[in-house]
Amino acid sequence: MIGKVKNRRSGYLLVEILISMFIFSVLVFVISVFLKRIIIVEKAKKDNQKIYEKMYFSMDKMVLDIKNRDSQKFSYEGENNNILVRENLIVFKLNEIFYKIEYDKGKLFVSDAENIGKFGSKVEIGKFNEVKFEKAGKLLIIRLKENKNEDIRIIKI
């Protein structure tokens, strides 16, 4: 009979099971908080990378097209040059087609035309907080800004 009593006492008590469940739930909670933070950081990195890629792809394409533009002069808004630069607008000719890049209401658009007076519909390139085009002598300065990211390119025209 003494042997039977000892066997019954060697099992787990309900209090021991509850304590172990509490410790396990605290561990699971702590791990889940860390995992949630890791997910938030990775999502922010992914979003930042998308913004970076979009900004630099747009900028690289614009710079390449402007550098390869036709050297023929044209007249637009009273100016006679091979490129027209305003604060929110660039007009140039590439492969006998006129292109207009303009910034309006937080969006950057491009449109094209065979005749300079009739540009087609605008196609959105991207959304940016700020876009500025500046002409300083023979230099064109393009600034794109989105959130905390800013890209500045200087092109010799």
> Does 35 reside within a domain?
no
Report the phi/psi class of residue 48: left, alpha or beta, with left for phi > 0 and alpha for psi in -120 to 50.
alpha
For 93, the domain range is 43-156
- Tell me if 116 sits within 8 A of 109, measured CB to CB: no
> Does 49 reside within a domain?
yes
- pLDDT given for residue 3 in this prediction: 53
The DSSP code for 86 is: E
- pLDDT given for residue 34 in this prediction: 94
> Does 118 reside within a domain?
yes
> Does 8 reside within a domain?
no
> Does 78 reside within a domain?
yes
Chunked into runs of 10 residues, the chain (157 residues) has average pLDDT values of 55 86 95 95 88 78 85 80 85 88 88 83 84 87 82 82
- pLDDT given for residue 22 in this prediction: 95
> Does 62 reside within a domain?
yes
- pLDDT given for residue 53 in this prediction: 81
> Does 68 reside within a domain?
yes
Q: What domain count does the chain have?
A: 1
Q: Residue 148 in 3-state DSSP?
A: coil
Q: pTM score, two decimals?
A: 0.66
